Amino acid sequence: MAKQMSSMYKRSITTLGLGAALMMGMTGCMGGTKDVPTPIPMQKSATAQSTESAADGSDSDRGSSEVEPSATKEASAPAAANGKLTPAGTNLKIGDVAKTHSNSGEQGTDKYKEATFDTTVTKIVAGDPADLAKLEDSAKFAGQTPYYVFYESTLTSLSKPTAGMSDAYLDGHLKDGSKAQKLIVFGTLGNCKSGSFKTEGDGDAFSYVVGSTKTSCSVFLAPGGDAVTAASYSDSSFNYENYSDNPYRDKPVIWGK
């Protein structure tokens, strides 16, 4: 089982440099509202954003988190039954499915919506350090290696039509379980690309298609001699009435080898 992660996460955001188009896989990283984050102003022809977490107010007081290294070597726990969320603290192997959820709008109003997903980490791949040379401030990444966490989200239910619901947001972890630095890329880095859910309808009925799958890729950095070996889900894309109500905050779902 994973060691309990700290109940406080602290996220820092630093402007870096890469491509022109927002990676669609980053749309799920905002913990409060579920709108696509506004890109930071671009420098020359490239921008990127380095952060350890999302930048919404509810998450601003979080501390660094750790995952017990040995947890990724334990036997895989089964996902929850169909229609139920995977329990907090579950350890999964890469390729296993976790049942996750997200919401948007104020609860108790007509605008409130919920969605559920089957989320799967498909692979964690070491990139080429030369990929970082494409960044405008590449000197900042000397000695580091980019790691690409690939995952899929299948939309399994949607309470109301919407094409703005975020899917699960994942964190990467180093060998010792500490949280890896995340790189939010505007464009494409290496072969790390993200897609989107299928859509249908128009007007108020314009919506993601239930049953469609979105492929995502997130970039994390590992110092020389280290590696990104696990990924975790702490339910940051679900807006709880009180953030302390989130059971995944201290006991995330973890995918490891």
C-alpha span between 216 and 172 (Å, rounded): 14
Note the pLDDT tens digit of each residue in 194-212. Answer: 999 999 999 989 999 999 9
* Residue that wins the pLDDT comparison between 49 and 172: 172
Report strand pairing: 253-256 vs 91-93: parallel
Give this prediction's pTM.
Answer: 0.70
Maximum mean pLDDT: which of 11-15, 130-134, 225-229: 225-229
Look over the chain and give the mean of its residue pLDDT values, rounded to a whole number: 75
Domain boundaries of the chain, sorted by first residue: 13-256
What is the predicted pLDDT for the residue at 246? 94
Tokens 């500490």 correspond to 178
What is the predicted pLDDT for the residue at 48? 57
Domain 13-256 CATH (choose: 3.40.50.10190, 2.60.40.1240, 3.30.230.10, 3.30.300.210): 2.60.40.1240
Any idea how long the chain is?
Answer: 257
What is the predicted pLDDT for the residue at 225? 92
Two tokens, residue 83: 């229609």
Share of the chain above pLDDT 70, in %: 68
**Backbone Cα Rg of the chain:** 17
Percent helix, strand and coil across the chain, each to the nearest 5: 10, 35, 55
C-alpha span between 207 and 162 (Å, rounded): 4
Collect all residues with Cβ–Cβ distance below 8 Å to 242 and sequence separation of at least 6. none
Which residue in 75, 2, 73 sits closest to 257, CA to CA?
73
Note the pLDDT tens digit of each residue in 120-173. Answer: 999 999 999 999 988 888 888 899 999 999 999 999 999 999 999 999 999 999
Collect all residues with Cβ–Cβ distance below 8 Å to 67 and sequence separation of at least 6. 2, 3, 5, 173, 177, 178, 230, 232, 252, 254, 256
Two tokens, residue 156: 């399994």
190 confidence band (pLDDT: 50, 70, 90)? confident
Question: Could you give the residue ranges of the DSSP H alpha helices within 86-199?
Answer: none
Note the pLDDT tens digit of each residue in 75-113. Answer: 333 333 345 999 999 999 999 999 999 999 988 899 999
Query: Taking 90 as the threshold, does the pLDDT of residue 177 lie above it?
Result: yes
Beta strand segments in the chain, E: 13-15, 48-51, 91-93, 97-104, 113-126, 145-158, 170-174, 181-185, 199-200, 207-208, 213-222, 228-233, 253-256
What is the predicted pLDDT for the residue at 12? 34
